[in-house]
Structure 1
């Protein structure tokens, strides 16, 4: 049994699987080329920001829908409504904090002596 687990073919297959999972988790495109998968395209900063704001907007829209459904008396658990409100609030606050940090960094760069 141990001989099967430590065979070179099994070790190679295990390493390929681990690399595939690592590449998927980190979003790297170069690590998946040897595994027969399509490489992941690189995204720019603007696109990342746009996606993040879109996700926050989706959370807030879902929260509004749940609140409206609860207000209309539909069969929506109060815990789901409160959790949705907290998720959207937390996402919005995180977005504001990131915006503030980016603006502060931009102002510091502008005030740097040349």
Structure 2
């Protein structure tokens, strides 16, 4: 994985994010606030979260495999190993920050008086 690949992935994420902001609301009769993606209902929050956690886990496993291969001497490309370690570290840290924000929001909601 090179810097160009990482930058291409970043650009793809930014493009996808911009596209998601521009999606029109779902047709009448659907769940209020639900959106459609390409004519199909948007996935639930739980399934989206599960998919994201699976991708992060896959990144961590790829990093472990690459690090172990380097330690055994099977590969000599330290740049790729370092890049994979950085990617895994950033994704894990982002997951922790997301969890912290989610717990904070939950606590705020639970402390609200109705």
TM over 0.5: yes
Question: TM-score if structure 2 supplies the norm length?
Answer: 0.66
Q: How many residues get paired? A: 86
Structure with higher Rg: it is: 1
Aligned to 1:8: none
Aligned to 1:113: 113
What is the Cα deviation at residue 112 of structure 1? 0.7
Moved over 6 A (4+): none
Residues 44-103 of structure 1: per-residue CA shift (max 9 Å, x gap) = 000011011001100000000000110110124001001000000000000000000000
Question: TM-score if structure 1 supplies the norm length?
Answer: 0.66
State the alpha-carbon separation in 2 of the partners of residues 85 and 50 from structure 1: 22
Aligned to 2:94: 94
State the alpha-carbon separation in 2 of the partners of residues 101 and 60 from structure 1: 22
In structure 1, runs of 5+ residues without a counterpart are 1-20, 31-37
Is contact 1:29–1:40 with CA below 8 Å preserved after alignment?
A: no
Indicate the SS of the match to 2:94: helix
Structure with more helix by fraction: 1
2:20 to 1, 16, 26: 26
Residues 8-48 of structure 1: per-residue CA shift (max 9 Å, x gap) = xxxxxxxxxxxxx98xx429488xxxxxxx63441000001
Using a 3 Å threshold, how does the CA distance of structure 1 residues 90 and 39 change in structure 2: closer, same or farther? same
**RMSD, aligned CA:** 2.4
In structure 2, runs of 5+ residues without a counterpart are 1-14, 26-37
Q: Which has the higher contact order (CA 8 A, sep 6+)?
A: 2
